[in-house]
Amino acid sequence: MTIPDSGKLGAAVVSAVRDVAETYILPRYQKLAKGDVRSKTHPGDLVTVADVESEQALSKILSALLPGSEVIGEEAAAADAVVLDHLNGESPVWIIDPVDGTANFVDGRPTFGVIIALVHRGETLMGWIHDPVAHRTLWAEKGAGAWLHEQTDTAKRVHVPPPPGEALNTLTAGLYAKTFNHLKGRFARIVRLGSAAHDYWSLVDGRMHVLSFSYLKPWDHAAGMLIHEEAGGYTRLVNGAAYSPAARNQPPSLSAPNKKVWDSIANADRS
């Protein structure tokens, strides 16, 4: 699918996600009332009024920006998983994670964000990660690179910086997949940010070098993987296949600054 005026669409989504964050999310940051938070499937699976209201607002805006498109929000999918079937349909689909890192948001920590992806026939075409507290947005278009919008409207191209070395003991990793538990002691540092939005952002700006996830929900990973790859990073599933936001039960992912580092980790022995 070719997106007409993709640059204009990208900028429009940046503007929309900023406005929604400032209207529905930031006013509740560190100000949530007791009734503003509830659990979904278990006590640690939280949703707030900010999640619900920002998803609803973004759904209306995004569907209007691209007539004929459909929308899948994390909260809507939690209520009815059947909506995920739209990812295999003919219409372009917006995927929204309205507040990624909800537990951090509830606890008043700044490591949360908004994630948006545009998908067609199981392929991610565009992706955005917005940091409401820092008022900045990363976004990418497949085949066209990755960009950073800060508080001004000026966008600058972003590139994954070279790693400090190729040996594991020079690298910082976020390992959420048990597949790589045997390697944890071999990295320089292991970090857990509690937000896929900030994990992928850290990959792009070089604060983290390696990232692995299981349970590859499209609202958590479609945008981040695209942005990382368009910034020059290398991301694949551990079996070497490309990630698809439409596929179910995929093996864990592995992201690295380049293929050489990716191969060294994927093929590392268990000694």
Q: Higher pLDDT residue, 126 or 74?
A: 126
User: How high is the pLDDT of residue 156?
Assistant: 93
Q: Bridge partners of 37?
A: 48
- Per the domain annotation, does 162 fall within a domain? no
Mean pLDDT value of segment 81-103: 88
pLDDT of residue 222: 97
203 and 141 both lie in a single domain: no
pLDDT at 73: 87
pLDDT attached to residue 123: 93
* Cβ-proximal residues to 178 (8 Å cutoff; 6+ apart), any chain: 214
pLDDT at res. 6 = 85
Comparing 40-44, 173-177, 190-194, the range with the smallest average pLDDT is 40-44
Range with the lowest mean pLDDT among 60-64, 77-81, 119-123? 77-81
Percent of all residues in the chain with a pLDDT value above 90, rounded to a whole number: 79
Average model confidence (pLDDT) across the chain: 92
Q: Does the pLDDT value for residue 60 go beyond 60? A: yes
Q: Is the pLDDT of residue 220 over 90?
A: yes
CA distance 29 to 31: 5
CATH label of the domain that carries residue 236? 3.40.190.80
Provide the number of structural domains found in the chain. Answer: 2
Same domain, 77 and 183: no
Are 145 and 185 within one domain? no
- Match 């948001």 to its residue by tokens: 105
CATH number, domain of 46, equals 3.30.540.10
- What is the DSSP secondary-structure string of the chain? -PPTTHHHHHHHHHHHHHHHIIIIIGGGTT---GGGEEESSSTT-EEEHHHHHHHHHHHHHHHHHSTT-EEEEHHHHHH-GGGGGGGGSSS-EEEEEEEESHHHHHTT-S--EEEEEEEETTEEEEEEEEETTTTEEEEEETTTEEEEE-SSS-EEE--PPPPS-SSGGG-EEEE-SGGGGGGGGGSSEE---S-HHHHHHHHHHTS--EEEESS--HHHHHHHHHHHHHTT-EEEETTSPPP-TT-SSPPPEEEESSHHHHHHHHT----
216 pLDDT higher than 70: yes
What digits encode the pLDDT tens for the residues 125-178?
999 999 999 999 999 999 999 999 987 667 899 999 999 998 999 999 999 999
Q: What is the reported pLDDT for 270?
A: 65
Instruction: Identify the burial level of 2 via C-beta atoms within 10 angstroms of its C-beta, where 0-12 means exposed, 13-18 middle and 19 or more buried.
Output: exposed
Residue 257: the pLDDT is 96
pTM, full prediction: 0.94
Residues 182, 96, single domain; the answer is: no
67 within some domain:
yes
Q: Are residues 172 and 147 in the same domain?
A: no
What does the pLDDT read at residue 43? 66
- 133 and 193 belong to one structural domain: no
Q: Cβ atoms within 10 A of the Cβ of 108, count?
A: 10
Tokens of 264: 């060294």
Residues spanned by the domain of 120: 6-157
Class of residue 208 by CB neighbours under 10 A (exposed 0-12, middle 13-18, buried 19+): buried
Judgement on whether residues 147 and 87 belong to the same structural domain of the protein: yes
How much is the average pLDDT of 86-115?
94
User: Please, which residues have CB within 8 angstroms of residue 60's CB and are 6 or more apart in sequence?
Assistant: none
Task: Let me know if residue 146 belongs to a domain.
Answer: yes
Q: Do the domain assignments include residue 10?
A: yes
Verify that 211 and 150 share a domain, yes or no: no
Can you spell out the DSSP letters for 72-95? EEHHHHHH-GGGGGGGGSSS-EEE
Distance CA 31, CA 105 (A): 10
For residue 182, is it within any domain? yes
- Burial readout 64-76 (b: 16 or more C-beta within 10 A, e: otherwise): eebeebbbbbbbb
> Band of the pLDDT at 271, cuts 50, 70, 90?
low
